[in-house]
């Protein structure tokens, strides 16, 4: 696929803008570029490689001649327009949850299961959930060496995970509090400024949220571990960008810290930042706008045999969404 014709669906959204930046920064060989969005955004002008590109309204006829369609406009849009793009001959790389757990749709993290892109009978490849990607970037090298058995995780998720409205809500509440003014939460069920909220997505019948269950379902599919056990608590925190995850990982084989560190040497997309004596450990600001996920606080778990505790941080807009999609396109 030389110099493909690329379309970005949801081009004016936060992830769509990041996709455009990734294509340019990574010198992706774009032959032609089409930017698509809702009728509200049609006509807006964006820049790619120094040239202006006018955003077009998304329709079912938007994909003639398109080779790769990057979707980042929500699950309903993906379900409605993704099949149309595929029927037109485009390979759809979808950032929503619409197709992730479909048996005939590959769910891909390029550093972990790049071979899965070959399996696309429907012409669709799914991008995993952002916290799943960030967590598995840290766990996959350990799994290769020790055999991953179970995960207990707590996530600390930035407000940009809710889109521009999440950022605006935090900013507005911070300003209101500084000026001693009243406000009413709209995006989140409780105040997010100076607070944390132990709910991301809606609750399911088992007491976990949909976001929390994604870690298990998607982790099993990506890693090829149908029996993987995962217990997860997802928390929204008053951070603008980059998600953090605290992980206890249990393995089939004995594991120690030195051996775990060695697993990360030379691996793409990850870096170890772990020197607590000198206050060196990953924080969200370290990864914002960056490609790599950072891993720190690696230590033996004091409860389970053959288990490690670790802390991983990654930019959920970049590696957790836009960059991962562009990396899939690079494989194609």
Asked if residue 146 and residue 117 are part of one domain, the reply reads no
pTM comes to 0.95
- Domain identity same for 287 and 225: yes
Residues 156 and 100 in one domain: no
Residues 26 and 68 in one domain: yes
Q: Phi/psi at 118 (nearest 5 deg)?
A: -70, -20
Q: How far is CA 159 from CA 75, 112, 210, in A?
A: 19, 27, 17
From the list 5, 22, 130, 234, the catalytic residue is: 130
Query: Considering 143, 232, 234, 243, which one is annotated as catalytic?
Result: 243
Tens place of pLDDT for every residue, the chain, 332 residues?
789 999 999 999 999 999 999 999 999 999 999 999 999 999 999 999 999 999 999 999 999 999 999 999 999 999 999 999 999 999 999 999 999 999 999 999 999 999 999 999 999 999 999 999 999 999 999 999 999 999 999 999 999 999 889 999 999 999 999 999 999 999 999 999 999 999 999 999 999 999 999 999 999 999 999 999 999 999 999 999 999 999 999 999 999 999 999 999 999 999 999 999 999 999 999 999 999 999 999 999 999 999 999 999 999 999 999 999 999 999 99
Are 163 and 307 found together in one domain? Answer: yes
Name residues whose C-beta falls within 8 Å of residue 220's C-beta, 6 or more positions apart in sequence: 226, 227, 228
Active site residue 273: no
Q: Assess whether 243 carries a catalytic annotation.
A: yes
- Range(s) of the domain holding residue 39: 5-128+322-331
Q: pLDDT for 159-201, tens place per residue?
A: 999 988 999 999 999 999 999 999 999 999 999 999 999 999 9
């Amino acid at each position: 696929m030389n110099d493909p014709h690329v379309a970005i669906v949801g081009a004016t959204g936060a992830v769509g803008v990041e996709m455009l930046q990734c294509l340019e920064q990574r010198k992706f060989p774009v032959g032609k570029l089409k930017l698509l969005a809702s009728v509200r955004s049609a006509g807006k002008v964006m820049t790619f490689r120094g040239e202006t590109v006018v955003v077009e309204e998304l329709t079912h006829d938007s994909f003639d001649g398109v080779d790769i369609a990057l979707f980042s406009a929500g699950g309903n849009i993906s379900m409605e327009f993704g099949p149309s793009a595929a029927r037109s001959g485009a390979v759809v790389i979808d950032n929503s949850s619409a197709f992730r757990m479909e048996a005939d749709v590959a769910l891909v993290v390029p550093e972990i299961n790049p071979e899965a892109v070959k399996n696309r009978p429907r012409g669709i490849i799914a991008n995993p959930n952002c916290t799943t990607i960030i967590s598995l970037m840290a766990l996959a090298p350990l799994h290769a060496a020790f055999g991953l058995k179970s995960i207990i995780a707590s996530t600390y998720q930035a407000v940009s995970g809710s889109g521009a409205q999440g950022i605006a809500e935090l900013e507005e509440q911070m300003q209101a509090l500084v000026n001693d003014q009243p406000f009413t939460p709209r995006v989140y069920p409780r105040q997010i400024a100076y607070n944390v909220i132990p709910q991301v997505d809606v609750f399911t019948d088992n007491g976990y949220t949909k976001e929390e269950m994604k870690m298990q379902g998607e982790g099993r599919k990506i890693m090829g571990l149908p029996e993987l056990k995962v217990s997860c608590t997802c928390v929204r925190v008053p951070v603008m960008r980059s998600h953090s995850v605290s992980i206890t990982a249990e393995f089939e084989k004995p594991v120690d810290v030195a051996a775990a560190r060695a697993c990360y040497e030379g691996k793409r997309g990850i870096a170890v930042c772990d020197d607590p004596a000198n206050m060196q450990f990953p924080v969200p600001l370290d990864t914002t706008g960056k490609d790599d996920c950072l891993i720190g606080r690696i230590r033996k778990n004091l409860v389970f045999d053959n288990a490690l505790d670790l802390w991983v941080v990654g930019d959920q807009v970049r590696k957790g969404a836009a960059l991962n999609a562009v990396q899939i396109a690079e494989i194609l």
